[in-house]
Amino acid sequence: MIFVVLYAIAVWTIAWRFRRRWPAFAAVLLAAPPIVLSAHFDVWLVRTVFDEDASWLVTLASLFAGIIVFIALLLSFQPRSKPSHVCVVCEYDMRGLSARTCPECGAELTEDTPKPQRARPILPVAPEGSLAIQLADNRRDRKRESSKLSAVTKAAPPATDTPITTQ
């Protein structure tokens, strides 16, 4: 009896720990057979040793197995709370990625899935020919002019080695 209770707790723990993943469903599938088989073994043992019919054990074990499987199934279907930055399928950490598909499993991220990265606010674009653009152009031109000047001075440094002699 205590074995059945411990067994049930073990199955439910696996079902909860791995809920919505294959180990949980494997636990659900494999939970019932050992209980029913061990009950059949007990019935056979009682019949062999005491020559008594204990087939009610199988009925009881089946009932327990049914309850265990039912609760394990409920647990294994409970939703997982996932952090918003992981893939909904494989839980790949997608922080810093702007891709709409998971690089690990290739899962397409649908619109209702939380975005891995918050979208940047769109900066207001200055209209063409506005004062801001003109100012920026002027500044760029001035910079280009000054860089041209410095290039010229570098190419032809003032000749100071040969003193100019006057006759």
| 86 near Zn ion (CB under 5 A) | no
DSSP per residue, the chain: -HHHHHHHHHHHHHHHHTTTSHHHHHHHHHHHHHHHHHHHHHHHHHHHHH----THHHHHHHHHHHHHHHHHHHHHTSPPP--TTB-TTT--B-TT---SB-TTT-PBPPTTSPPSSPPPPPPPPPPTT-HHHHHHHHHHHHHHHHHHHHHHHHHS----SSPPP--
| 90 near Zn ion (CB under 5 A) | yes
| Closer Cβ to Zn ion, 105 or 126, answer by number | 105
Of 92, 97, 109, 113, the one binding Zn ion (CB under 5 A) is 92
Which residues, in sequence order, are CB contacts of 81 under 8 Å at separation 6+?
A: none
Q: How far is the CB of 17 from Zn ion (least distance, A)?
A: 20
* Residues 41 and 55: beta-carbon distance below 8 Å: no
| 35 near Zn ion (CB under 5 A) | no
| Closer Cβ to Zn ion, 57 or 109, answer by number | 109
Annotate each residue in 94-113 with x if it binds Zn ion (CB under 5 A) or - if it does not, as one string. --------x-xx-x------
User: Candidates 62-70, 79-87, 118-126, 151-159 — which segment interacts with Zn ion by CB under 5 A?
Assistant: 79-87
Q: How far is the CB of 95 from Zn ion (least distance, A)?
A: 13
User: Candidates 17-25, 72-80, 87-95, 144-152 — which segment interacts with Zn ion by CB under 5 A?
Assistant: 87-95
93 phi, psi to nearest 5 deg: -70, 115
Of 4, 89, 97, 109, the one binding Zn ion (CB under 5 A) is 89
Q: Where do contacts with Zn ion occur on this chain (CB under 5 A)?
A: 87, 89-90, 92, 102, 104-105, 107
